[in-house]
A and B are shown apart, each in its own frame.
Chain A
Amino acid sequence: MARGQTGRKPQGGSRAAFGWNNPRVRAFIYQAAVLGFVIGIVWFFASTAQENLQRLHISSGFGFLDTTAGFGIIQTLIPYSEQSTYGRAFLVGLLNTLVVAVIGIVLSVMLGFLVGVMRLSRNWLVAKIAAAYVEVMRNIPLLLHLFFWYFAVLRPLPGPAESLNPLPGVFLNNRGLILPDPVSTASATAFLAAIAFALAGGFFLLRWARKRGRETGKYFPAGRVFLSVLLVLPALVWLVMGAPFELHHATQGDFDFIGGFRLLPEFVALVLALTLYTAGFIAEIVRAGILSVGKGQLEAAAALGLKESTTLRLVVIPQALRLIIPPLTSQILNLTKNSSLAVAIAYPDLVAVFSGTVLNQTGQAIEVIALTMAVYLTLSLLTSLAMNWYNARIALKGR
């Protein structure tokens, strides 16, 4: 690229080109000097910190990750007990953060699109409701959202003894929503394989149908075929091999239910708060994206006789997405990072477990905070990478 731009091609192998007069060499030396300087500064700070920690008799290093943690965590997605290590506690916290972030992202994007489209509705009431939603939600600090939803979720719920029991095996009380625990049986593998097979087949079918449609103009109802296969195949397995899982109902203990699969009120409140708050921002991004599509495009589509739904699907959304994706990425990153407020309402996310409890038990602030920062940085960079890849795929391509 650089060569193409300067239009001056250094003479390959020529000795004369190497020296102070070659701008490329000079640029390299400058950049390397800066790099060296930065490395040196980092090394200087690290060695100073190391010296001071040693002088103050504060232990350092990452050896503590192998030490027994000794504390309990209320929500663990992987097996964890008090005898597990700090490293394991770190993983538990990380997974708790991820599960909140992923669910929050999916829900807030869905709600955000809905509200954004609603705000453009020709129906006065619908548009105003959406506008009010956006203004109320995004103008209240997230921490207040958290407390509001947490205590709003808790207040009306009864204690475990007077649990609501809307369906057999489903209990709702202020300890959470307790569902029957699906325990897999012998046919579970075949059942999951059937779903995976249907999904994979559907993916290729859709691709093939689209390609053929583009090349020959012939229409194939791939979507409908895909859906029916996805339903029929697992159902067949179920009929032939028996149910893929059994529901183990929770039983009433002295204080609380024992067993079962449970959704904690803290989790629900956190997801609610993050979703409602972020959806307010996403709605505005979606509205801006849709409004950016020129009126002429819509008129041209109408002139071609496209239906309104087809216009939306084939003309408006593909062009709107180009504007929506970059700011949407920021909102997704914000949601992930905002989930670190969870500790305020006792949801055991990474910050609560690791830079809360573990930091306090070990006192190794530098290592713990550095590791936590590294996790959020990695998560953010990976999200950005995925979104940028998607953005590049849908970007306007000159043909």
Chain B
Amino acid sequence: MKNPLVALFVGILIGVGGLYFFLPYDPMSLGNSRVDAGQAQVEVDRAGAGETLRRVRQRGHLICGVSQGLPGFSSPDERGRWSGIDADFCRALAGAIFGSGENVRFRPLSAKDRFTALQSGEIDILSRNTTWTMSRDTQLGFNFIGVTYYDGQSFMVRKASGIETAAGLAGGTICTETGTTTELNVADYFRDRGLSYRVLTFEKNDEAIVAYDRGRCDAYTTDASGLYAQRLKLAEPDKHMVLSELISKEPLGPAVRQGDPQWEDIARWTLNALINAEELGVTRANVEEMKQSDNPRVRRLLGQEGNYGPSVGLSSDWVVNAVKAVGNYGEMFERNIGSETPLNIERGLNALWTKGGLQYAPPVR
């Protein structure tokens, strides 16, 4: 018994020693680096700055994570072109970077896979009707850059059922999809009120909506905007209605990986610029004329004054290109989900702050 043990020990020594020899860096220093983690963190962040923009430029296009098909937010049309407010935000970003909104590839992701795709660097930005929550912002390793759509969770029910409030669903079965905040909101809502419910969680909304249509559940729940979109998929949309009651706050917005502050700034200020453009009356049609405007706020926004684009690594006419790609925020909204579309969603919370809504962008100055 003695000999094999000695041999085992010698072997492990040789093995570990050999590995040590081939390692690209000194593994013993790993432990030490944790001692001054704060210092290391600063260095890592500095090293990460600008890396995403450099990679995107090198690649020649932006990779944008979108949904697998949510009309009005991101869905492919009959010719395979992605449309929707989330898809358009990526075009605006591509416009700001490349000068053309077409330098973008869309990657459809399930609700379940979206965070891993962003964490692992498979996509540059996640623009996929994703709710901004604290745990997602702090624990998952990415940052939300703003709100493209203020939403809230609601329920779709059959008109014939006579249900008018969410509490009226007590004892019923509710269909939803996995990997979203909706599961938790439903649980909170009914638990708060001491009501019973059953939740049926599908992997994809396609199956969930079919199950609802076949009568497997009494209600289908997701963000109100999503309900309007999904209702169009039902056999008889007119026989269903979306409850006006909202049971949660769902600020939907794009997110980027943490660790590259420049990239974060680019994404955040592209969104702010689109909202500011609406406020200042800059549209896709008049953006070239507006360059000659005397209004200093417009001149700063469109790069006629100041050094705003170059400060984040872009050209000075970045906003001109972004607006040329998709129009301002209001145009994006109306074209994709507003009154011109079958979804016919009112601006409501998403109107500009000057018009009684919540959309308020910090100034470009």
Chain A residues near B (Cβ < 8 Å): 17-18, 24-25, 28-41, 44, 47, 51, 53-59, 70-74, 82, 147, 151, 154-155, 159, 174-175, 253-256, 258, 265-266, 343-346, 348, 352, 356-357, 359-363, 365
Contacts and interface: CB of A to CB of B under 8 A. Distances in A.
A273 B111 CA distance: 26
Interface string B182-210: 01101110010000011111111001101
30 contacts: A24-B4, A28-B3, A28-B7, A28-B8, A29-B7, A29-B11, A31-B11, A32-B11, A33-B11, A33-B12, A33-B14, A36-B19, A37-B19, A39-B12, A40-B15, A47-B27, A51-B30, A56-B141, A58-B140, A70-B188, A71-B184, A74-B198, A254-B172, A255-B169, A343-B202, A344-B207, A356-B178, A360-B111, A360-B115, A363-B139
A268 B119 CA distance: 37
B15 A357 contact: no
B16 A255 contact: no
A358 to B, nearest CB: 10
Interface string B1-43: 0011011111111111011100100010010000001000100
A54 B34 CA distance: 10
Contacts of B199: 71-74
Contacts of A40: 15-16, 19-20
Interface string B255-284: 001110000000000000000000000000
Contacts of A24: 3-4
A254 B171 contact: yes
B214 A255 contact: no
Contact of B183 (A53, A343, A357): A357
A36 B11 contact: yes
Contacts of A359: 112, 179
Contact of A72 (B27, B183, B257): B183
A190 B171 CA distance: 37
Given A28-B4, A256-B171, A346 B139 contact: no
B136 interface: yes
Contacts of B136: 363
Majority-rule SS of B interface residues: helix
Nearest to A155: B214
Majority-rule SS of A interface residues: helix
Given A47-B30, A365-B119, A71 B202 contact: no
A72 B16 contact: no
Contacts of A357: 178-179, 183, 201
Nearest to B15: A36
Contacts of B200: 74, 266, 346
B55 interface: no
Contacts of A70: 184, 187-188
Nearest to B41: A55
Contact of A265 (B14, B216, B259): B216
B173 A175 contact: yes
A265 B136 CA distance: 34
Nearest to A357: B178
Given A343-B178, A363-B136, A29 B14 contact: yes
A315 B33 CA distance: 71
Contacts of A53: 141
A363 B178 contact: no
Interface string B124-153: 000000000001101111000000000000
B293 interface: no
